[in-house]
Amino acid sequence: MAEHGTNLDVDDLEGTRELIVDELGTVSFPPEVLMKMGGPGRYEIARNERGEVKLVTAEKNKSMIKGKKVLASICPACNYKYIDDSQLCPECGSSRPMVSDN
C-alpha cells in the first residue's frame, strides 16, 4: 500500500478488498485504506486501462494536507468512544471519520 506522496495501485489493496463505483463514478475508500493513502485530497490518474486504475498524489495536494490522518477516537454523531479499529459506530451506525493526528 502506498504512503502519501507515492503511487497507489488499486491492485495492491489488502486481501480481497473491493471498491464499489456507483453510476456517477463515485468511489468510497475504507477508512484504513484512505489513511494509508495519506488522507483525502487530490489524486491524478496515472494509468487507466480496462480493469485497472493507478492513482498518484497530485503535487498541489502536498501543500493542502498538513499532518497525519488517523481514525477518530470518538463518534461525532453520538460521542461513542471507540475501543478498536472498527469502521462503523456500534451505537449509531455512523461511519468513522479520519481526523488530523495532533
Q: What is the mean pLDDT of each run of 10 residues along the chain (102 residues)?
A: 48 63 83 79 83 76 60 92 92 87 68
pTM value is 0.40
The reply to whether 2 and 42 lie within a common domain is: yes
Q: Residue 35 sits in which domain range?
A: 1-65
The reply to whether 16 and 61 lie within a common domain is: yes
Closest C-alpha among 84, 62, 65 to residue 73: 84
The reply to whether 56 and 10 lie within a common domain is: yes
In the numeric block, which cell numbers belong to residue 46?
496515472
CA distance 100 to 28: 19
The reply to whether 38 and 79 lie within a common domain is: no
What's the number of domains the chain is made of? 2
